[in-house]
Structure 1
Amino acid sequence: MRKKIKKTAFLILPIVLGVFLIWYSISQLSPSDIQSIKTSFKTANYWWVLLSIVFGILSHLSRAYRWQFLLEPLGYKPRFVNSVMAVLIAYLLNLLIPRSGEFARAASIKKYEKIPFEKAMGTIVAERVADVIMLLFIMGIAFFLQTDLIGGYLFNNKEESSIYTKIFFFVVMPIVGFFIYKSLKKSRNPFIVKVISFINGLMDGAKSIVTMKKKWKFIFHTIFIWVMYVLMFYVVTFALPETTNLPFEAIIVGFVVGGLSMALTNGGLGTYPVFVASALILYHVQDNPAKAFGWIMWTAQTLMVIVFGSLSFIFIPIYNKYQKI
């Protein structure tokens, strides 16, 4: 009974949180704020939004192609079209149920390419390790670029805050973290064991990527995917005059904050616009244009996933039926 309650809560709470945040953010707006946001939506240059969607499509195509580098050593070479549609279906289902997309992706490729579910799932997990490493790398860049801002809060001396913050976060903390990791490896606490297992999984995944046969192609596509993600965010800043001249660090921080918000609710429902707007406000973007940007960005991404994921869901059985004729 307790497991069912936990499972139900896991499915419902992210949606409830997302809906609540949407309601709360709208309830805080005055009539003039709402009108200002509507004006931003009406006057936005949607050609930049369309370009963002193109970059998103390229990232999905690259992800499907990269998948083959993990399946080939296992003796499987799925048709590229099936790989693409399986990836898009996964994104669609993740909007409904968190992490269900990975299982649907493995199930789709099993059904239409006869690849065992557990082997397909293993390659998807390996992919996720590469993506987590890339996200951590970009977070590190964001942190490095923002040491002045962070240091202003930690140290009173503004001139020396940057160098002190860099030394603290990029030298002292990694060394301390290494020794903490070594000491915690001996712990029997269930939570600590899970954390250590996760860290070990990341390291094992990184090692397997370095030793794989087509590692450079895999690494290239991994970098390409994340460059496309950043470009998706970046080009939309040109859609509104208030966000056109954002500095590079604002782009990276906004991207990272938006990416992290995706983990809180299904597809960033409610959280993505709020978090991204909060990040842009730090860079002197006015409140309403910042919120408009967040909503335009989230809406474009979500519509892209819904449209192409739904089309894939419809056409994957038709395509494979045609292939058998």
Structure 2
Amino acid sequence: MKRAAKLLVSLLMTVVFSWWAFRETDWNSLMASLRTANYLWVVPYFGFLMLVHLARTLRWGCLLSGMEQVPFRKLNEASGIGFMMLLVLPFRLGEFARPLLIAQRSSIRRSAAMTSVVLERITDGMFVAALMRVLLMFVPAEVPELRFVKLGANLMFAVFASGLVFLLFALWHQDTAVRLVRATVGRVAPPVADKMADVVDSFVGAMRQLPNRRQMAGFFLFTLIYWGVNGAGVAVLSRAFGESLSLTLFQAYVVNCVLVVGVMIPAAPGMVGTFQAAVKVGLSLFLPASVVNGSGLAYANVLWLCQTVQQVGLGVLLMSAGHLSFRDLAGRLNKVQAQEQDTAAAGTLPSA
């Protein structure tokens, strides 16, 4: 029942955001834009997407290097397949894919690998939120959507910054952090508090295995490259839809930041609906509604399709090369999530 409820909510979110994104669509303009677009720009955009994958993979390797120097082939397999599973599987099953895959290809424990994923998520959340707040300072204040975008950026920064502050506190005062969790969450849900306390212990243990300064510098460098190339790619693909939609680098980075905030909203696999709605909001900060509701939405759909094809295609290729079965991997991930939920109810954390 719990999974059925989650699926229903995610599908409902997809329907709601899809309706909002396309409710004012100029379908004639959208279809004309799709027919007349210069799809040669898709070729360099796929090049940008591969650079994004490479930067994302190498920076993960920097984080893991404190535990083990994982060969690039194994790291690339775990990264490419993991991000594909994150995109296509429901119930956030894909969150466990990279830790599971890298644990099978190295001596790194799954819990420690999961910690590296959490650190990536916190870093990305804070970086994008901070970047968006800076960029929004240069967007004309009379744009109606601006206040909602600022609110999203502030909420995003607050959530990830709070998580980082607590985890740093736990790193320096582990026992106090555990007691704090038990004293607060434990009053409402003791089993959840036990789970959270064990997660804090596991996280702190993994944090103490962080790589040296050189590798951490590499992690932050690849983070800059990752988001820099990502935003530049958004600008490149916009060229396919003519002068009326061609985004400057500044505009592309704003749109990309808004997109990141948008796809954080839980939705059905594939991010359909939330993706298009977020791109529409981002474009609305710079372009008139007549453009956004026609060629703008055509661009949003092509952008979504390119990212989906690249991510899924690369994952399938790596899975085939590694002689892996999608069904078997999905089944293992399902068992991992079920195990996590069972231990949360029991108040204990299994060894990974």
TM-score of the superposed pair, with normalisation by structure 2 = 0.67
**Equivalent AA in structure 1 for residue 127 of structure 2:** M
Change (3 A) 1:293 1:206: farther
Which range moved further: 122-131 or 226-235? 122-131
Please list, as runs of the form range in 1=range in 2, the aligned pairs for 1:174-213 lying within 5 A after superposition.
212-213=213-214
**Equivalent AA in structure 1 for residue 135 of structure 2:** A
Could you tell me whether the CA contact under 8 Å between 2:235 and 2:247 is conserved in 1? no
**Which stretches in structure 2 are left out of the alignment for 5+ residues?**
166-176, 325-352
Change (3 A) 1:44 1:99: same
Aligned counterpart for 1:115 among listed residues 73, 97, 108: 108
**Equivalent AA in structure 2 for residue 87 of structure 1:** S
Please list, as runs of the form range in 1=range in 2, the aligned pairs for 1:195-234 lying within 5 A after superposition.
212-234=213-235
Q: Per-residue CA shift, 1:239-293, capped at 9, x if unaligned?
A: 1114444345432332122111211224431121123123323423412111111
Q: How far apart in 1 are the matches of 2:226 and 2:209?
A: 19
Q: How far apart in 2 are the matches of 1:111 and 1:150?
A: 50
| 2:138 counterpart of 1:145 | yes
Change (3 A) 1:313 1:143: same
Q: Pairwise CA RMSD of aligned residues?
A: 4.0
Please list, as runs of the form range in 1=range in 2, the aligned pairs for 1:156-171 lying within 5 A after superposition.
none
Partner of 2:237: 236
**Equivalent AA in structure 2 for residue 134 of structure 1:** F
Could you tell me whether the CA contact under 8 Å between 2:14 and 2:272 is conserved in 1? yes
Partner of 2:258: 257
Could you tell me whether the CA contact under 8 Å between 1:69 and 1:214 is conserved in 2? yes
Could you tell me whether the CA contact under 8 Å between 2:262 and 2:274 is conserved in 1? yes
Shift of 1:301: 0.8
Q: Per-residue CA shift, 1:128-160, capped at 9, x if unaligned?
A: 222122212222223222263479999xxxxxx
Shift of 1:28: 5.2
Could you tell me whether the CA contact under 8 Å between 1:37 and 1:292 is conserved in 2? yes
Shift of 1:40: 0.9
**Equivalent AA in structure 2 for residue 255 of structure 1:** N
Shift of 1:221: 0.6
**Which stretches in structure 1 are left out of the alignment for 5+ residues?**
155-164, 319-325
**Equivalent AA in structure 2 for residue 17 of structure 1:** M
Shift of 1:108: 0.8
Could you tell me whether the CA contact under 8 Å between 1:66 and 1:218 is conserved in 2? yes
| 2:75 counterpart of 1:83 | yes
Aligned counterpart for 1:281 among listed residues 278, 281, 284: 284
Partner of 1:316: 322
Q: How far apart in 1 are the matches of 2:236 and 2:208?
A: 34
| 2:34 counterpart of 1:41 | yes
Partner of 1:9: 5
Change (3 A) 1:231 1:152: closer
Q: How far apart in 2 are the matches of 1:114 and 1:209?
A: 15
Which range moved further: 245-254 or 107-116? 245-254
Could you tell me whether the CA contact under 8 Å between 1:110 and 1:120 is conserved in 2? yes
Q: How far apart in 1 are the matches of 2:8 and 2:319?
A: 24
Shift of 1:209: 7.7
**Equivalent AA in structure 1 for residue 239 of structure 2:** F
Could you tell me whether the CA contact under 8 Å between 1:146 and 1:249 is conserved in 2? no
SS at match of 1:268: coil
Q: Per-residue CA shift, 1:183-237, capped at 9, x if unaligned?
A: xx999765xx99xx9xx9xxx9999989744222221111101111111211111
TM-score of the superposed pair, with normalisation by structure 1 = 0.72
Could you tell me whether the CA contact under 8 Å between 2:80 and 2:311 is conserved in 1? yes
Q: How far apart in 2 are the matches of 1:80 and 1:152?
A: 43
Change (3 A) 1:12 1:53: farther
Partner of 2:344: none
Q: How far apart in 1 are the matches of 2:124 and 2:40?
A: 29
More helix by share: 1
Please list, as runs of the form range in 1=range in 2, the aligned pairs for 1:285-304 lying within 5 A after superposition.
285=288, 286=291, 287-304=293-310
Change (3 A) 1:142 1:83: same
Change (3 A) 1:53 1:206: farther
Please list, as runs of the form range in 1=range in 2, the aligned pairs for 1:27-66 lying within 5 A after superposition.
29=25, 33-66=26-59
SS at match of 2:69: coil
Which range moved further: 264-273 or 304-313? 264-273
Could you tell me whether the CA contact under 8 Å between 1:273 and 1:295 is conserved in 2? yes
Could you tell me whether the CA contact under 8 Å between 2:263 and 2:274 is conserved in 1? yes
Aligned counterpart for 1:136 among listed residues 129, 133, 138: 129
Partner of 2:18: 22
Q: How far apart in 2 are the matches of 1:125 and 1:282?
A: 31
SS at match of 1:50: helix
Could you tell me whether the CA contact under 8 Å between 1:15 and 1:269 is conserved in 2? no
Change (3 A) 1:269 1:217: same
Change (3 A) 1:263 1:88: same
SS at match of 2:264: coil
Q: How far apart in 2 are the matches of 1:207 and 1:143?
A: 37
Shift of 1:81: 1.6
Q: Per-residue CA shift, 1:48-90, capped at 9, x if unaligned?
A: 222222111111112211222222222x122212211211222
Q: How far apart in 2 are the matches of 1:126 and 1:301?
A: 23
